Amino acid sequence: MEVQAPVVVARAADLLACLGTLGCLTMLAAVVPADLRRAPPVPALRCLAGASLLAGLLAGAVWTLVQAAYFAGAPDLRAALAAVPATLTDTRFGTVMMVRAAFLLTALAMLAWRRERVAAVAAGCACAGQPWLGHPAAVGIAWLPLASALHVVAAGIWIGGLPPLARLVSALPAAAAVRVLRRFSVLAAGCVGVLAVTALVQAVPLVGSPRGLLAGTYGGAVLLKVGLFVAMLGCAAANRLLFTRALAAGRAGARRALGRCIAVEALLGLTALLAAALLAELPAGSMLMG
Amino acid sequence: MTRSRLIAAPVALLLALAVPTAAAFAHAHLKTAVPAPGGTVGAAPTELVINYSEAVEPHFCTVAVTGPDGKRVDTGAVHTAPGNAHELVVPLKPLSPGRYTVDWHATSVDSHKTQGDYTFTVTR
């Protein structure tokens, strides 16, 4: 089976927008302390969350069009547009995309109404629909899509939270930045645990065996994700154990070092998300091994 | 984040992968069919049934069945079996004895497409 580059790109754009939205909303709802809600960078984060939500809706629409073109083998835009209604009404993909769009619209309304916790939950529900758009819900193992949904939500909270974290760390006074970093660190540690466990339980049926890791591009992408995860853990540990302490102690250059380390962590996370979008389009390693 | 946690996650993942398990299939692949691939049937079937490894989207599945004279003998209206989204049913026009070719294109619920072909023979 050939990998469809437009589908991979559309899926990746949708994943980035949705997980970025979840991370930003979770940051607003659960990480920023109540007394910092009016601090200068926080309103900008609300704008970022709103922009991410709109990007998520747009990316979903584009992905639906690209997927309809692929389903129908459409040679041009007109044929692709003609295939959209059937894609939305007659396929699982279409059903899931419409439900996800409803959750994103709910999140947008709740954000405008300053109900950030409800908005974050709605965005989490939108992200949790991802497994029903790929392998996990199709292989006939009941718990697999649930594990995958947890995996996606944890990735969104951790990786999607990094850009707003970098913004807060660069703009808040040192003491406030340290508080935000410590609160985020607790949340991120929980996400790391969820990611490790859910990656493990998904890998067993989807990769199958160590031979599955060596079976072409799928195994390579899995190994890449594991490597990126380990590298991100290294960045997270450096942030928590070195740079946050240095910032708390008022050491010169600590804020810049923290910002750089968070940027590297975010870049690694971005690469992991791109690898995840590619994995979703490839035959599972277990299938290649038979 | 402690050092032991940093090491534990990737090690646990690699250990889990070392445990052999039944293969989980993704994408729709032909498992069985009636008439069977390469098979011979006596009485002419009125429909062709293909069972896939994964649930399929019938709106975006096509199955072309051509007879010995190269003409299509399927009615073009495929549908899934009631209560079984893995099974695609293809109504057929009356078949005469001869060798038939089945060219299938499936779209699975995980949104991927697969294809294949096979033949079967009708003797009477």
Provide the pLDDT for residue A213. 77
Give B39-74 pLDDT, tens digit per residue: 999 999 999 999 998 899 999 999 999 999 999 999
Closest CA in chain B for residue A95: B109
Provide the pLDDT for residue A283. 75
Q: Greater confidence, A231 or B8?
A: A231
Distance (Å, rounded) from C-alpha A33 to C-alpha A29?
9
Q: What pairing do the DSSP bridges indicate for beta strands B98-107 and B40-41?
A: unpaired
Average pLDDT for A132-145: 85
Give A142-200 pLDDT, tens digit per residue: 899 999 999 999 999 999 999 999 999 999 999 999 999 999 999 999 999 999 999 98
* Residue numbers of A between 140 and 199 with CB closer than 8 Å to B: 140-141, 144, 189, 192, 196, 199
Average pLDDT for A4-10: 91
Provide the pLDDT for residue B12. 47
Residues of B in contact with A203 (CB under 8 A): 13, 16-17
What b/e sequence results for A116-137 when a residue is b if at least 16 CB atoms lie within 10 Å of its CB, and e otherwise?
bebbbbbbbbbbbbbbbbbbbb
**pLDDT level of residue B35 (50, 70, 90 thresholds):** very high
Give A209-255 pLDDT, tens digit per residue: 777 777 677 888 888 999 999 999 999 999 999 999 999 999 989 99
Provide the pLDDT for residue A165. 96
- Above 50 in pLDDT, residue B24? no
Provide the pLDDT for residue A215. 66
Q: Which of A8, A95, A207 to mutate: most B Cβ within 10 Å?
A: A207
Average pLDDT for A95-123: 97
User: Any chain A CB within 8 A of the CB of B24?
Assistant: yes
Provide the pLDDT for residue A181. 96
Contact (CB<8Å) B25/A133: no
**Which run of H or of E encompasses A81?**
helix A77-90
The strand order across the sheet containing B79-81 reads: B30-34, B47-52, B84-91, B79-81
Distance (Å, rounded) from C-alpha B24 to C-alpha A117?
37
Residues 6+ apart with CB under 8 A from A82: A72, A74
- CA B83, B88, B92, B97 torsion: positive or negative? negative
Give A72-93 pLDDT, tens digit per residue: 999 999 999 999 999 999 999 9
Residues of A in contact with B57 (CB under 8 A): 71, 90-93
From the list A70, A141, A233, which residue is nearest B9 (CB)? A233
* Residue numbers of B between 95 and 114 with CB closer than 8 Å to A: 107-114
Contact (CB<8Å) B111/A283: no
Q: Nearest C-alpha of chain A: how many angstroms from B14?
A: 8
Distance (Å, rounded) from C-alpha B36 to C-alpha A215?
30
Rg of chain B on CA atoms, in Å: 21
CB atoms closer than 10 angstroms to residue A204: 22
Closest CA to A187 of A15, A28, A66, A62: A28
Contact (CB<8Å) B13/A199: yes
- Whether B110 and A144 have beta carbons less than 8 Å apart is answered as no
- Above 50 in pLDDT, residue B21? no
**Predicted ipTM of the assembly:** 0.79
**pLDDT level of residue B2 (50, 70, 90 thresholds):** very low
Count contacts between A and B (CB, < 8 Å).
131
**A70-74, A147-151, A271-275, A278-282, range with the lowest pLDDT:** A278-282
Give B85-113 pLDDT, tens digit per residue: 999 999 999 999 999 999 999 999 988 89
* Residue numbers of A between 3 and 42 with CB closer than 8 Å to B: 7
Q: Greater confidence, A286 or A214?
A: A214
Residues of A in contact with B27 (CB under 8 A): 1, 283, 287
**pLDDT level of residue A272 (50, 70, 90 thresholds):** very high
* Residue numbers of A between 79 and 98 with CB closer than 8 Å to B: 86, 90-93
Provide the pLDDT for residue B105. 95
Residues of A in contact with B1 (CB under 8 A): 189, 192, 233, 236-237, 240-241
pTM of the model: 0.87
- Whether B103 and B66 have beta carbons less than 8 Å apart is answered as yes
Provide the pLDDT for residue B15. 42
Residues of B in contact with A286 (CB under 8 A): 21, 23-25
